Structure 1
């Protein structure tokens, strides 16, 4: 900004000085201050640019979050589809999942400071019933 003002002043002063027969070799600006209004306008412009960048960042982040949610949902849908196929092809898959869940529950209860008493049937989630149903199917 200072360079632009200096060039403009040099040009204008040079033209005026030639009118009076004076050749101007150099112009030096030692102190340059702008009006309060101009300074405020420059600051307001900078603030507006920063706010625009912040808004752009927020929009970009929202788009990334949206894309992430879509990919996550597609993965969950694919997982559900594969689990459904596994259940159709092999009903023992549910029994395996129940055993895994029972093992996790047993581990949580065993590591807890509280004492919980459960009968085996509630802990094993009726796995025996499922196993008899599986063996009965042709």
Structure 2
């Protein structure tokens, strides 16, 4: 039995070593990933390995897996505007490495290439672009500022073989003193507009009163002239007044028309009493 175990142990060790070698010689590259191979003799291989299961020489070679899908990253910077106002600005960047340049990225920048490049380049671009605008322009021309930042950042990132799918401003604010000054200015402008409205309203009401008075004066003159020309105008007004009174009484439910009494309107409630 002891002799059998002595023979079995080397065999088991050989099998275990073989399985370990096979396991260490196989690696997988998942979807959305690429691999760069480091060879202890030849260095970083120029060929980028695609998705799938691949073989390497254990100990001599080692794979480094990169995610090549678009990845979001936030970049924050505190800089100064053209009129020397402190500006806090944040960007959201969608980036990915240039696949054919992964060996260069690994050799020059390492696996944490995004941390080495994007914050530095992002701050550089933000300070350069924001310094060309004053505080008011940063607010009113935000789209133009965002476009200029995107173009400059895309160009600088390309120098490090990084591709940007999108760049957008997510936050833009100023110092508390400047913000308070802007709010005070807006309140003052609103008060000025309100005072202007009140003045214009009073002027319009004054003009309306003058026009109304002129109209009443003109109407009085016409009435005087009509009365001076003869009794016809007064008679016409009397007839119109009588007609209006008759129409009002005729519409009342408490009044009836009596044709046999000389067209007299009688109040039935009064006669009932």
TM-score after normalising by structure 1: 0.60
Q: More relative contact order in 1 or in 2 (CA 8 Å, sep 6+)?
A: 1
Match of 2:183 in 1: 43
Match of 2:82 in 1: 7
Q: Is 1:82 the equivalent of 2:157?
A: no
CA distance in 1 between counterparts of 2:226 and 2:193 reads 49
Greater mean deviation of Cα atoms: 49-58 or 105-114: 105-114
Q: 1:97 Cα deviation (Å)?
A: 0.3
| Paired residue total | 101
Q: 1:112 Cα deviation (Å)?
A: 2.8
RMSD over aligned Cα, in angstroms? 3.1
Match of residue 110, structure 1, among 245, 250, 266: 250
The structure where strand makes up a greater share of residues is 2
The structure where helix makes up a greater share of residues is 1
Q: Please identify the structure whose Cα radius of gyration is greater.
A: 2
* Runs of 4 or more above 4 Å deviation: 28-32
Map 1:13-52 to 2 at 5 A: 27-29=128-130, 33-52=173-192
CA distance in 2 between counterparts of 1:58 and 1:106 reads 47
CA distance in 1 between counterparts of 2:199 and 2:210 reads 17
> Which consecutive unaligned segments of at least 5 residues does structure 2 have?
1-79, 85-123, 131-168, 266-273
Greater mean deviation of Cα atoms: 34-43 or 89-98: 34-43
SS in structure 2 at match of 1:37: helix
Match of 2:196 in 1: 56
> Which consecutive unaligned segments of at least 5 residues does structure 1 have?
10-23, 124-138
Per-residue deviation, residues 24-78 of structure 1 (Å, max 9, x unmatched): 9972458753232321221121111112111111110111111011111111101
Inter-CA distance 113–62: structure 2 relative to 1 (3 Å threshold):
farther
Per-residue deviation, residues 101-120 of structure 1 (Å, max 9, x unmatched): 11111112212334389xx9
SS in structure 2 at match of 1:46: helix
TM-score after normalising by structure 2: 0.32
CA distance in 2 between counterparts of 1:45 and 1:64 reads 28
